[in-house]
Protein backbone atom coordinates (compact mmCIF):
# COMPACT_ATOMS: atom_id res chain seq x y z
CA UNK A 1 0.00 0.00 0.00
CA UNK A 2 1.09 3.55 -0.70
CA UNK A 3 0.28 6.85 0.99
CA UNK A 4 -0.14 10.02 -1.10
CA UNK A 5 -0.25 13.56 0.29
CA UNK A 6 -2.66 15.50 -1.93
CA UNK A 7 -4.59 18.75 -2.00
CA UNK A 8 -7.57 16.54 -0.96
CA UNK A 9 -5.70 15.27 2.10
CA UNK A 10 -3.97 11.92 2.63
CA UNK A 11 -4.98 9.07 0.31
CA UNK A 12 -4.09 5.39 0.47
CA UNK A 13 -3.51 3.46 -2.76
CA UNK A 14 -4.13 -0.27 -2.78
CA UNK A 15 -4.30 -2.43 -5.91
CA UNK A 16 -4.74 0.64 -8.14
CA UNK A 17 -7.61 2.13 -6.12
CA UNK A 18 -7.47 5.20 -3.87
CA UNK A 19 -9.11 5.63 -0.44
CA UNK A 20 -9.40 8.50 2.03
CA UNK A 21 -7.19 8.10 5.09
CA UNK A 22 -9.18 8.88 8.22
CA UNK A 23 -6.19 10.56 9.90
CA UNK A 24 -5.45 13.64 7.84
CA UNK A 25 -2.01 14.51 9.15
CA UNK A 26 1.29 12.80 8.45
CA UNK A 27 2.64 14.50 11.58
CA UNK A 28 0.19 12.46 13.68
CA UNK A 29 0.87 9.24 11.76
CA UNK A 30 4.67 9.49 12.16
CA UNK A 31 4.43 11.01 15.64
CA UNK A 32 2.94 8.01 17.41
CA UNK A 33 0.37 6.60 14.95
CA UNK A 34 0.44 3.23 13.20
CA UNK A 35 0.75 3.87 9.47
CA UNK A 36 -0.08 0.29 8.48
CA UNK A 37 -3.17 0.12 10.68
CA UNK A 38 -4.37 3.48 9.31
CA UNK A 39 -3.91 2.24 5.72
CA UNK A 40 -5.68 -1.07 6.43
CA UNK A 41 -8.60 0.82 7.95
CA UNK A 42 -8.76 3.26 5.01
CA UNK A 43 -9.10 0.54 2.36
CA UNK A 44 -12.27 -0.74 4.09
CA UNK A 45 -13.98 2.47 2.80
CA UNK A 46 -15.24 3.29 -0.67
CA UNK A 47 -12.74 4.17 -3.40
CA UNK A 48 -12.35 7.85 -4.34
CA UNK A 49 -11.09 9.54 -7.52
CA UNK A 50 -7.49 8.90 -8.52
CA UNK A 51 -5.50 12.07 -7.77
CA UNK A 52 -4.23 13.99 -10.78
CA UNK A 53 -0.53 14.90 -10.92
CA UNK A 54 -1.48 18.55 -10.18
CA UNK A 55 -3.07 17.44 -6.89
CA UNK A 56 0.07 15.76 -5.56
CA UNK A 57 2.00 17.36 -2.68
CA UNK A 58 5.33 16.22 -1.28
CA UNK A 59 4.65 13.40 1.23
CA UNK A 60 6.11 15.40 4.10
CA UNK A 61 4.69 17.87 6.62
CA UNK A 62 6.69 19.03 9.67
CA UNK A 63 9.34 16.32 9.40
CA UNK A 64 12.98 17.43 9.22
CA UNK A 65 14.73 16.04 6.17
CA UNK A 66 18.26 14.70 6.75
CA UNK A 67 20.69 13.06 4.35
CA UNK A 68 23.47 10.48 4.42
CA UNK A 69 26.57 10.90 2.29
CA UNK A 70 29.22 8.75 0.63
CA UNK A 71 27.31 5.53 1.17
CA UNK A 72 28.00 4.17 -2.34
CA UNK A 73 31.45 3.59 -3.91
CA UNK A 74 30.41 5.72 -6.92
CA UNK A 75 29.70 8.67 -4.60
CA UNK A 76 33.08 8.27 -2.85
CA UNK A 77 34.91 8.30 -6.20
CA UNK A 78 32.97 11.26 -7.62
CA UNK A 79 33.69 13.41 -4.52
CA UNK A 80 37.39 12.50 -4.52
CA UNK A 81 37.57 13.55 -8.19
CA UNK A 82 35.69 16.84 -7.77
CA UNK A 83 37.80 17.92 -4.78
CA UNK A 84 41.21 16.85 -6.12
CA UNK A 85 42.43 20.48 -6.49
CA UNK A 86 41.39 21.48 -2.95
CA UNK A 87 42.95 18.49 -1.20
CA UNK A 88 39.58 17.52 0.24
CA UNK A 89 39.42 14.05 -1.37
CA UNK A 90 40.84 12.20 1.61
CA UNK A 91 37.79 13.16 3.70
CA UNK A 92 35.54 11.16 1.42
CA UNK A 93 37.61 8.00 1.52
CA UNK A 94 37.82 8.26 5.30
CA UNK A 95 34.06 8.68 5.77
CA UNK A 96 33.33 5.85 3.31
CA UNK A 97 35.30 3.40 5.47
CA UNK A 98 34.58 4.92 8.90
CA UNK A 99 32.20 3.39 11.42
CA UNK A 100 30.29 6.69 11.82
CA UNK A 101 28.36 7.69 8.69
CA UNK A 102 28.16 11.19 7.25
CA UNK A 103 24.77 12.75 8.09
CA UNK A 104 23.77 16.29 7.20
CA UNK A 105 20.67 18.44 7.48
CA UNK A 106 18.95 18.90 4.11
CA UNK A 107 15.59 20.65 4.52
CA UNK A 108 12.65 21.57 6.66
CA UNK A 109 9.42 19.97 5.46
CA UNK A 110 7.94 23.24 4.22
CA UNK A 111 10.83 23.77 1.76
CA UNK A 112 10.52 20.36 0.07
CA UNK A 113 9.53 20.55 -3.62
CA UNK A 114 6.47 18.57 -4.63
CA UNK A 115 6.38 15.92 -7.38
CA UNK A 116 6.04 17.81 -10.67
CA UNK A 117 7.40 21.01 -9.08
CA UNK A 118 10.55 22.90 -10.03
CA UNK A 119 13.91 22.25 -8.39
CA UNK A 120 16.68 24.83 -8.72
CA UNK A 121 20.33 25.41 -9.52
CA UNK A 122 22.08 28.02 -7.35
CA UNK A 123 22.92 31.20 -9.26
CA UNK A 124 26.53 31.14 -7.98
CA UNK A 125 27.24 27.59 -9.17
CA UNK A 126 28.31 26.25 -12.57
CA UNK A 127 28.40 22.49 -11.99
CA UNK A 128 25.19 20.83 -10.79
CA UNK A 129 23.65 17.39 -10.63
CA UNK A 130 20.55 15.72 -9.21
CA UNK A 131 21.22 12.95 -6.68
CA UNK A 132 18.62 10.17 -6.94
CA UNK A 133 18.19 8.58 -3.53
CA UNK A 134 16.06 6.18 -1.55
CA UNK A 135 14.49 8.13 1.34
CA UNK A 136 13.61 6.43 4.63
CA UNK A 137 10.36 7.51 6.31
CA UNK A 138 10.93 7.15 10.05
CA UNK A 139 8.47 7.47 12.93
CA UNK A 140 9.13 9.14 16.27
CA UNK A 141 10.26 5.79 17.74
CA UNK A 142 13.02 5.52 15.11
CA UNK A 143 11.31 2.76 13.11
CA UNK A 144 11.51 2.79 9.31
CA UNK A 145 7.83 2.62 8.37
CA UNK A 146 7.99 3.66 4.73
CA UNK A 147 10.12 4.50 1.73
CA UNK A 148 10.00 7.27 -0.81
CA UNK A 149 12.08 8.79 -3.61
CA UNK A 150 14.24 11.89 -3.24
CA UNK A 151 16.37 14.28 -5.26
CA UNK A 152 19.32 15.73 -3.31
CA UNK A 153 20.22 18.56 -5.73
CA UNK A 154 23.92 19.33 -5.38
CA UNK A 155 26.38 21.98 -6.56
CA UNK A 156 29.54 20.01 -7.29
CA UNK A 157 31.85 23.01 -7.80
CA UNK A 158 30.96 24.51 -4.39
CA UNK A 159 31.24 21.13 -2.67
CA UNK A 160 34.57 20.42 -4.42
CA UNK A 161 36.08 23.79 -3.51
CA UNK A 162 36.10 23.05 0.21
CA UNK A 163 34.37 20.28 2.23
CA UNK A 164 33.23 22.97 4.70
CA UNK A 165 31.06 24.44 1.93
CA UNK A 166 28.86 21.32 1.92
CA UNK A 167 25.80 23.04 3.47
CA UNK A 168 25.88 25.71 0.73
CA UNK A 169 26.26 23.08 -1.98
CA UNK A 170 23.31 21.14 -0.60
CA UNK A 171 20.86 23.46 1.15
CA UNK A 172 19.17 26.28 -0.75
CA UNK A 173 15.67 27.03 -2.09
CA UNK A 174 14.50 24.26 -4.44
CA UNK A 175 17.34 21.85 -3.55
CA UNK A 176 15.20 19.02 -2.16
CA UNK A 177 12.35 17.15 -3.83
CA UNK A 178 10.49 14.13 -2.41
CA UNK A 179 7.67 11.96 -3.78
CA UNK A 180 5.46 10.89 -5.40
CA UNK A 181 4.23 8.76 -2.45
CA UNK A 182 5.30 6.75 0.57
CA UNK A 183 5.50 2.99 0.10
CA UNK A 184 4.23 1.64 3.43
CA UNK A 185 6.63 -1.07 4.56
CA UNK A 186 5.07 -4.43 5.35
CA UNK A 187 8.36 -6.36 5.49
CA UNK A 188 12.10 -5.86 5.01
CA UNK A 189 13.47 -3.44 2.38
CA UNK A 190 14.08 -5.32 -0.90
CA UNK A 191 17.81 -4.98 -1.59
CA UNK A 192 17.28 -5.97 -5.22
CA UNK A 193 15.29 -2.78 -5.83
CA UNK A 194 16.82 -0.65 -8.57
CA UNK A 195 17.13 3.14 -8.62
CA UNK A 196 17.00 4.75 -12.06
CA UNK A 197 17.93 8.29 -13.10
CA UNK A 198 16.99 9.82 -16.42
CA UNK A 199 17.73 13.44 -17.30
CA UNK A 200 15.90 14.70 -20.37
CA UNK A 201 17.02 17.76 -22.31
CA UNK A 202 14.68 19.04 -25.02
CA UNK A 203 12.76 15.77 -24.71
CA UNK A 204 15.85 13.61 -25.36
CA UNK A 205 17.72 11.54 -22.75
CA UNK A 206 20.90 13.48 -21.87
CA UNK A 207 21.89 11.05 -19.09
CA UNK A 208 20.67 7.63 -17.96
CA UNK A 209 22.00 5.56 -15.09
CA UNK A 210 20.95 2.99 -12.52
CA UNK A 211 22.09 1.21 -9.39
CA UNK A 212 20.56 -1.17 -6.85
CA UNK A 213 20.23 -1.09 -3.09
CA UNK A 214 22.82 -3.91 -2.97
CA UNK A 215 25.44 -1.21 -3.68
CA UNK A 216 24.39 0.76 -0.57
CA UNK A 217 27.29 0.18 1.86
CA UNK A 218 25.40 0.96 5.06
CA UNK A 219 22.39 -0.73 6.62
CA UNK A 220 19.44 1.73 6.62
CA UNK A 221 18.78 0.86 10.30
CA UNK A 222 22.38 1.83 11.14
CA UNK A 223 21.89 5.23 9.44
CA UNK A 224 18.70 5.80 11.44
CA UNK A 225 20.36 4.78 14.70
CA UNK A 226 23.05 7.45 14.21
CA UNK A 227 20.44 10.09 13.33
CA UNK A 228 18.34 9.29 16.42
CA UNK A 229 21.35 8.78 18.73
CA UNK A 230 21.22 12.25 20.30
CA UNK A 231 18.10 13.79 18.76
CA UNK A 232 14.37 13.35 19.17
CA UNK A 233 11.96 13.74 16.27
CA UNK A 234 8.46 14.18 17.70
CA UNK A 235 6.87 14.06 14.23
CA UNK A 236 9.29 11.55 12.73
CA UNK A 237 11.92 12.32 10.10
CA UNK A 238 12.96 11.66 6.51
CA UNK A 239 16.47 10.39 5.77
CA UNK A 240 18.08 10.33 2.31
CA UNK A 241 20.39 7.30 2.03
CA UNK A 242 22.97 8.70 -0.43
CA UNK A 243 23.47 8.51 -4.16
CA UNK A 244 24.94 5.65 -6.17
CA UNK A 245 24.50 7.44 -9.51
CA UNK A 246 26.64 10.44 -10.46
CA UNK A 247 26.80 11.62 -14.09
CA UNK A 248 30.29 11.98 -15.59
CA UNK A 249 32.39 15.03 -14.71
CA UNK A 250 31.57 16.72 -18.03
CA UNK A 251 27.82 16.78 -17.24
CA UNK A 252 25.98 19.66 -15.61
CA UNK A 253 22.25 20.36 -15.35
CA UNK A 254 20.66 23.13 -17.36
CA UNK A 255 17.45 25.12 -16.97
CA UNK A 256 14.50 23.24 -18.45
CA UNK A 257 16.04 19.78 -17.93
CA UNK A 258 13.57 17.20 -16.69
CA UNK A 259 14.79 14.86 -13.91
CA UNK A 260 13.05 11.50 -13.53
CA UNK A 261 14.00 9.29 -10.58
CA UNK A 262 12.38 5.87 -10.33
CA UNK A 263 12.70 3.32 -7.54
CA UNK A 264 11.22 -0.15 -8.03
CA UNK A 265 8.04 -0.61 -6.04
CA UNK A 266 7.69 3.07 -5.11
CA UNK A 267 7.29 5.14 -8.27
CA UNK A 268 8.79 8.00 -10.25
CA UNK A 269 9.65 11.44 -8.91
CA UNK A 270 9.62 13.94 -11.77
CA UNK A 271 10.85 17.54 -11.52
CA UNK A 272 11.95 20.24 -13.92
CA UNK A 273 14.98 22.48 -13.38
CA UNK A 274 13.66 26.05 -12.95
Give the footprint of ligand DO4 on this chain (CB under 6 A): 67, 69-71, 75, 79, 102, 131, 152, 166, 242-243
Residue 13 binds: one of ligand DO4, Mg ion, none (C-beta under 5 to 8 A by kind): none
By C-beta, is 26 or 166 nearer to ligand DO4? 166
- Omega before 180 within 30 of 0, i.e. cis: yes
Residue 239 binds: one of Mg ion, ligand DO4, none (C-beta under 5 to 8 A by kind): none
Residue 70 binds: one of ligand DO4, Mg ion, none (C-beta under 5 to 8 A by kind): ligand DO4
By C-beta, is 30 or 237 nearer to ligand DO4? 237
Is 141 in contact with 134 (CB distance < 8 Å)? Answer: no
Is 157 in contact with 125 (CB distance < 8 Å)? Answer: yes
DSSP string spanning 96-145? Answer: HHSSSPEEEEEE-GGGPBPTTSEE---TT-S-EE--EEEEEEE-TTS-EE
Residue 64 binds: one of ligand DO4, Mg ion, none (C-beta under 5 to 8 A by kind): none
Helices (H), 142-256: 156-161, 166-170, 220-227
User: Which chain residues interact with Mg ion by CB under 5 A?
Assistant: 131, 152, 243
Residue 75 binds: one of Mg ion, ligand DO4, none (C-beta under 5 to 8 A by kind): ligand DO4
By C-beta, is 159 or 270 nearer to Mg ion? 159
**Strand (E) or helix (H) holding 208:** strand 204-212
Helix, strand, or coil (residue 165): helix
By C-beta, is 61 or 155 nearer to ligand DO4? 155
Closest distance between ligand DO4 and the C-beta of residue 46, in Å? 42
By C-beta, is 152 or 257 nearer to ligand DO4? 152
| C-alpha distances in Å from residue 2, one per residue of 114, 201, 207, 261 | 16, 30, 29, 17
Amino acid sequence: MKLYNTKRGLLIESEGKFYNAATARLDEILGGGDILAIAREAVKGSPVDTPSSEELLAPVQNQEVWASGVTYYRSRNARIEESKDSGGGDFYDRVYTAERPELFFKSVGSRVVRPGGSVRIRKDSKWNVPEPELVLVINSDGEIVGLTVGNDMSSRDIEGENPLYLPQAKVYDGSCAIGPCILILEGPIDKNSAIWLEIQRNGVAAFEGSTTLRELKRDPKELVSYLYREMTFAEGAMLFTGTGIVPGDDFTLDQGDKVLITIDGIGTLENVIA
